[in-house]
Amino acid sequence: MKTLKIEELSKNFGSTEVLRKINLEIDEGNFLVLLGPSGCGKSTLLNIIAGLETINEGNVFIDDYNVSKVEPKDRNIAMVFQSYALYPSMNVRENMIFGLKQAKVSKEKIEKQLEKVSKFLQVDALLERKPSQLSGGQRQRVAIGRALVREPRIFLFDEPLSNLDAKLRVEMRREIKKLHQQLKTTVVYVTHDQTEAMSLGTNIAIMNHGVIQQNDTPENIYNKPSNTFVADFIGSPSMNLIKGNLKQSSDKVSFVANGSNDEIAINGYEFNSSSVNCKPMSSRIHFNTSSPAFFFWCVVFLPANVGPKPHPFTVLAKITVGFPLMFFAAS
């Protein structure tokens, strides 16, 4: 069942086109990450799903019901913001149950939900504290708890870890992943951090200039990027680009870089109308005629200053024939 469906969605701010013909489908229980550089439109898309922004064209469906003109409070969604958005004058208990009280939920159910969620998030000992008395991680747990107590159909996260330090981000990332695995609720998560996206998402939609460049599993995003932007955006350190041409004869395929006469022989590929496949180093090579690029892999060793002496680590070199030379760090 498609919990969330977006059809031909476009959004303008004045004469500026922010989103262009967005189409997305999210199955029940999936964790979709909207990933892209700043200004690509991912937060705007999340706000439209939440009902905080209007639509110029297209429709948003939740459980096959068109919610394009439905008020945010009636969409059965819950949102966790980057800034936590906790009321400073309220303690943790009051912050977490505020939405339920506004919805006039019975006191018995409120107390039951509060007890369950606060224990689950390990904030039950903090219920009487004010937000100013909490650490960054504790505030984020309270913000997530406020969303959880409502038992929404869809969770929306807008860069919730951006304000945390590096160590705490790793811990909270693990907590969010565990949360999703246990609750199996549909999640839409916005970030510009590819590490978050690759570790959290069951699917990743990469955006640029208001357009979804590729929507696929993390594995396919990494191994089979649909275009140069996706291939360049995913991976650390980022790739280097070497432009050149693919030369092909009856028994030989080679790559010639611009400004060079040297041919790099590439053997063992089987060509057809849509793909090239082989498995050097047990990796898959993909060729797309609409975006002619395919990859092969090699292993190089680079020094890294991670202690008193340089320490060598392995890097997979992902070479794109026809486009670039791309380097991605191996795990």
pLDDT (tens, 9 = 90+) of the chain, 331 residues, equals 689 999 999 999 999 999 999 999 999 999 999 999 999 999 999 999 999 999 999 999 999 999 999 999 899 999 998 888 899 999 999 999 998 998 899 999 999 999 999 998 889 999 999 999 998 889 988 999 999 998 899 999 999 888 888 888 888 888 889 889 888 899 999 999 988 999 999 999 999 999 999 999 998 888 788 888 888 888 776 666 667 777 777 777 777 777 778 777 766 544 433 333 333 333 333 333 344 444 444 444 444 444 455 544 444 444 444 333 333 333 3
pLDDT in tens, 147-199: 999 889 999 999 988 888 888 888 888 888 988 988 889 999 999 998 899 99
In order of their start, the domains of the chain are 2-227 (3.40.50.300), 244-329 (no CATH)
Q: CB under 8 Å to 18, separation ≥6 — which residues?
A: 11, 12, 41, 44, 210
Give the tokens for residue 27: 């199955």
Distance CA 121, CA 139 (A): 11
- Residue pair 311/218 in contact (Cβ under 8 Å)? The answer is no
d(CA 264, CA 324) in angstroms, rounded, equals 13
Q: Which residues, at least 6 apart from 68, have a Cβ–Cβ distance to it below 8 Å?
A: 55, 58, 59, 60
Which pLDDT score is estimated for 241? 63
Contact status, residue 13 vs residue 41, Cβ threshold 8 Å? no
Phi, psi of 274 (to 5 degrees): -130, -20
* Backbone φ, ψ for residue 269 (5° rounding): -100, 140
The C-alpha atoms of residue 314 and residue 255 are separated, in whole angstroms, by 25
State the pLDDT at residue 10: 96
What angle (nearest 5°) sits at the alpha carbon of residue 116, between those of residues 113 and 119? Answer: 140
Quick one: pLDDT at residue 210?
95
Q: What is the pLDDT of residues 276-304, one digit of tens each?
A: 333 333 333 333 334 444 444 444 444 44
Q: Residue 207: name the closest of 64, 9, 6, 22 by CA.
A: 22
Distance CA 185, CA 264 (A): 49
Other C-beta atoms closer than 10 Å to the C-beta of 131 total 18
> Radius of gyration (Cα) for the chain, nearest Å?
23
pLDDT at site 299: 41
- Output the pLDDT for position 108: 93
**pLDDT of amino acid 222:** 82
At residue 229, the pLDDT reads 87
pLDDT of residue 309: 53
